[in-house]
Each structure stands twice: as structure tokens, then as C-alpha cells.
Chains A and B, each alone.
Chain A
Amino acid sequence: MAENLAMPKSWNVETKPHKFCPGCGHGLVLKVLGEVIDELGIQDRMVFGVDIGCSLLAWDFFNVDTVQTHHGRTNPVMVGIKRANPDLLPIAYMGDGGGYAIGSQHLVNSAFRNEKIMAIVVNNVNYGMTGGQMSPTTLPGQKTETSPYGRDPEETGNPTLGPEMVAAIASPGAYVARATVSNMKQLKRYMKKAVENLIAGNGFSFLEVISSCPTNWRTNAKQTWAFMEEDMAKYFKTGELRTPDESKEG
């Protein structure tokens, strides 16, 4: 697996090492995305849109034209680009707060309209950049800065199931899946299929990636992995929820 140790060609080496915290899952997601960009040869057609939150740290991550937008507003900027120039391949990159809270109306309506863009939500069950507040995907009982006694579903509802929501409203041609940084092979397969769907222009491509935030979870390496693979995995099932040919891997 020597090739996996090399940086993807589409990475901007001048901005490496990257700016994410040690143990953060963003680097893994962006490594897989970089490999897919290389393999599918889309560096010159892709436009990368990054949200506010930790995702903004990827504003100069790739040798790909990139626009850092506002919190929750990356989907509409990418939609605007695609509608104006359908030859481009816009990929919106955001966290669970940007995707499911402040930008939820944009996500829902991009899915309803079957916009020919791709959206990636990196789900680490909290607002990382602002210091670890409760997010839409925070688990029941999980302690955060704004749920210091644990998230109470009676008060604040249950974790948002993003791909399930998108799959429920998506049109034919959409690709919807959930992957995790704890299963890189599956993540790579889904990422590639999502980008292929974007290239084909079949419909909205949506990928949620379960990811880690040891800084705000206050976990060591072992605890971090256990939280992702055990606690988070109970709520967030990986698999494909919609594919353009309706052949799901689950």
C-alpha cells in the first residue's frame, strides 16, 4: 500500500502539513477526495466550496479552484456556479452544523431540486471551530459546551440523520451515502461513486462522513476510535441510501 502514503497529486503541497488538529478526520476525508480527484482527472473542472467551521481550513488545501463561503451557504454558492456554468463540477464541503443546522434549508432544497452538484458533510457530532458546542448530530447524553449535562432528546431532539433525510426527498439520479473515516476502503468507494455521479450529471450527490474530533471530545486515540466505531456507529449506519441505478451497497 505504498501509494497510499504519498500525497494525492491534487493536494497543494505548499499548504502541507495541513491546519487541522492532530487526530481530526478532515485530513482523511480530504486525502480520499484528493485521490478521487486524481483518479477521475477532474482537477481542471472541479470547484471546491468550503463552509465556515473547521472545513474552512481547507480553503487552500487543493490545487483546485476553491471558494470559501459563509456558514451554511456553500451549497447555494455551488448551485449558483453550476447553474451558470454546467461544465464545472462544484463540490460543497461542510460540517454537520453548516449542513444540518444553519444550512439545512439549502441542503433540503438542493436535494429537492436535484441540483447537479455534490455535497460532503463531515459529521463529527459537534461544532469544532467554535469550541465544541452541541450540533444537530450530537448523540443523546453526549456532553458538549452547550449540553454540559449531556444532550437531552426531550429538550433538544434526536441526532439529525442527514443521508436518510436527503434520501427520502431525493429524485432519481441522486447518489446518497454515509461513510466513516474508520473504514477508508468503503469511504473511497462511496466518494468515487459520488464524484462519478457528479461527473455524469445524473443528480444530487450527497455523502456524509463520520469523522473524529478528539480536541473537543477530549478523548485519547483509543477513546476517539471507540467513540466513532461504537457510539456513533449505533446511530449513524454506513451504506448507500440512494444510487442512480438503485443498486445499493449496504
Chain B
Amino acid sequence: MAEKPIQEEKKVFMTGNEVIAWAALAAGADIMYGYPITPQNEIMHYWTRLAPKYGKKFLQTEDELSAGFTTLGGVLAGRKSFSATAGPGTTLFQEPLSMAEMMRIPAVVIIQQRGGPSTATVIYSQQEVNMVTYGGNGEGWRVVYSTATHQELYDYTIKSFNTAWKYRFPTFVLGDGYQAKMREPLVMYNPEDRGIEMVDPVASVGLPGIPGKDRSAVHLRNTYSVEEELYDATMPIQEDYDRMAKEVVEWDERNIDDADVVIISHGVVSRAAIAAMNRLRDKGIKVGYFRPITLRPFPDEQLRKVAEKCSNFVLVESALGQLARLVKAALFNMPIEKFDAVYKPGVGITAEELVERIENALK
């Protein structure tokens, strides 16, 4: 068998898509199923170059529906399986992912957001938040990690396999075209070397023994005959999700205690938010920062605690209120001093414009 893909910790300088391919290898992923769409293509490009060296597999499917459903098949066969997509591909992925939610199939899917709606741009946006958090005909039973840096792409790609297989909910890493295509430094490592215990995959079908003789046959379904039967099947899933939520929810907050204004953002935009906060702090303006890392489950309680201290919010996102909808739901019924929003669908956001916006607002 081939050696471990990463022998020791090392600092590297690479694009986000390459980072993800390496992270999937480090996480012990067995097989990738994929269909070309920009800006995620290089994940497949690197995976197809690296995978055979380590006994891993790849299948290029006929479309994203097939990429999604073959990924589910790989998981059912007991292999760590993943895919990657974007934009209209994310739309098609909602069908297989809804099956994954209903049948508790721990698929991992990397989303590199591009502009929307429709084909739009191949570059960048944060417009796939609605779809990735609550897409499909269901209740949003998935975990969504929104990353901001290449280090996080590495860390959360590894973590997504563990979250998926531990809790058996489909898990997304939500990046974007900027993260996919730009190069920046990060440290790659073997998760085991850092004490991260990787969760072993478990097969759902093809178990040892003859079904009906040595063991019961596995009969997996997502169809139910009557309303009450469905209710009895789905409510335990919600209970599992709620239990899991407390354990997996993640967020980042800085300078909240003395803040006069708090910037809320997620993903790569958080980097502009942090830079703006630091520059304004240098000018004596007390700015805080809050960032949900898991968009599903959302850090509701943590944000409400922030709002108890400071509820003069500036929300900023490269979409027309998709993060804002999650934030407002989390803050429901709380007294809010001010809720200013910067919406730039499909367009990047700089620290400079945030500094100017907040300075003007405080004048």
C-alpha cells in the first residue's frame, strides 16, 4: 500500500482547490465522484493526479445528479466518498442530498460558490447559502462549514468527513471561487499526528453473511405510506440533529465586550471584516466581529449573547440577504439597536469600503 500522503507537517503555498484534494487524502477519503463545473474543477484535477498513487478512486459522472447519487452509493458501500460542485451543480445536488438527509447517508460535498442565479459568473459569490443550508424538499438536516482561509479549507475538509460519519448527516464545506483559485500559505498535516481521531466508515449494504440466514437483510427506504409513519420516521432525525447541533456548532467572535458596533459576516468576507475592525480600532472606534463558521446548525445562542452586549450590527455579505435571513431568524424577538446591511451579490467586499461605511454611519 502506498505511503501516507502527508508524512509530516509542512508549510505549503497553493490554491484552495489543491488544498481540498490534499485534505481529502489526509482525511482518508476513498473515492471522489465528480462532474466538471467552474470554479471547483481543480479539485478533480488534483485528485485524479494524486489518488491513484494512494490507491484511491475517481469517477467522472454524466451530470451532478449522478455525481451526487454515486457519492451516496459509495457511502452505502462503506467508503469515504465525496464530491465537489458549484452554482447550477449545487442546485442539482439538492436531490441526492435530500435523500442523504432522509436516509442518514454521510456524504461530503465541497461547494465553491460562483455567481447566481442561473449560470451567472464562474468567479465568486456567497449566493449559495440558502441552497446549501436549506435546499431540497426537507428540513435542512445537514452540516455546513463556511471557510475563510486556506488553512480552514484544509482543516474543515478533514473535519467534514468526521462530522459526516460520526453523526451521519451530509456535510458541506462551503467555499467560493476566490478561495478556490487564489494561492496562500497553510500548514498541511496528518490529522492523526495532531491527535485527531478519524472516524472509520461503516458499510450499510454488503455486510458479511447471508441475509435472512446469518443476519437480517438491510432494507433502506425513503418512501413512507402514510403521514403518521413519516412523522415517526422523521422526528427522531430532528432530535438527533438537535443533539448534534450543540456539539458541532462553531463560530468566531472578537472584541465584543466593549463594542459599539459589531460586524457580522461569514466565509471569505470575514477577512475584510476583521481588517476593517482592526483599522477602525486603530482609530479608536470600538468595533467587534461575529462570524458563524457553521451556517447549519447556526450559532443562534452565541449570536443572541452578542446582541445582549451590543446590537448595533453591520451585516455584510456577497449576496442579497442570504446570511441576513439566518441572522434575523437567530435574533428573533430580541431588541435590536440597529441593523445595517451591505449586500453585494456576486461581488467581493473590501476592508476599505467597510471602514468608510462604518465611519460614515457613526458620524
A and B are partners in one complex rather than unrelated chains: yes
If the complex has contacts A84-B77, A85-B77, are A76 and B70 also in contact, measured as CB distance less than 8 A? yes
Query: Size band of the A side of the interface?
Result: 35 or more
In the docked arrangement, what's the CA distance between A31 and B59, Å? 34
Q: Scoring B residues 58 to 95 as 1 if CB is less than 8 Å from chain A, else 0, what string do you get?
A: 01011101101111111111110100000000000001
Query: Does A80 lie within 8 Å of B223, measured CB to CB?
Result: no
Chain A, interface SS category? mixed
Q: Are A62 and B217 in contact (CB under 8 A)?
A: yes
Contact (Cβ within 8 A) A84 B218: no
B223 pairs with A63, CB closer than 8 A: no
Which residues from chain A contact B217 at a C-beta distance below 8 Å? Answer: 12, 60, 62-66
Q: Are B220 and A84 in contact (CB under 8 A)?
A: no
Asked if residues B223 and A56 are in contact (CB atoms below 8 Å), the reply is yes
Q: Which of A45, A76, A84, A109 is close to B79, meaning CB atoms less than 8 Å apart?
A: A84
Give, as a whole number of angstroms, the nearest-CB distance from A197 to chain B: 20
Q: Which of A97-131 contact B (CB under 8 A)?
A: 105-106, 108-109
Q: Does B99 contact A (CB under 8 A)?
A: yes
Min C-beta distance of B309 to chain A, whole Å: 47
Contact pick for B72, options A45, A77, A105, CB 8 Å: A77
B181 to chain A, nearest CB (A): 29
Q: Are A80 and B211 in contact (CB under 8 A)?
A: no
Interface mask (A71-91 → B, CB under 8 Å = 1, otherwise 0): 001001111111111011010
Q: Is B221 an interface residue (CB 8 A)?
A: yes
Given known contacts A43-B211, A63-B212, A84-B77, A70 and B69 CB-to-CB distance under 8 angstroms: yes
Taking a contact as CB atoms closer than 8 A, the residue among A45, A77, A106 that contacts B206 in the complex is: A45
Chain B window 283-324, contacts with chain A (Cβ cutoff 8 Å), 1 for yes, 0 for no: 000000000000000000000000000000000000000000
In Å, the complex CA distance between A47 and B61 comes to 21
- Residues of B in contact (CB 8 Å), total 44
Closest to A74 in B: B69
Chain A residue nearest in CB terms to B71: A80
Q: Is B96 an interface residue (CB 8 A)?
A: yes
The answer to the question of B194 belonging to the interface, with a C-beta cut-off of 8 Å to chain A, is: no
Say yes or no: B219 contacts A79, CB within 8 Å. Answer: no
Contacts A64-B211, A77-B70 supplied; 11 other A-B pairs, CB < 8 Å: A12-B217, A60-B219, A60-B221, A62-B217, A63-B211, A65-B219, A66-B205, A67-B205, A84-B57, A84-B81, A88-B206
Question: Can you show 11 pairs from A to B with CB atoms below 8 A apart?
Answer: A56-B221, A59-B219, A67-B76, A76-B66, A77-B76, A79-B73, A80-B71, A80-B73, A81-B206, A84-B79, A85-B79
Q: Report which A residues bind B (CB closer than 8 A).
A: 10, 12, 43-45, 47, 52, 56, 59-60, 62-70, 73, 76-85, 87-88, 90, 105-106, 108-109
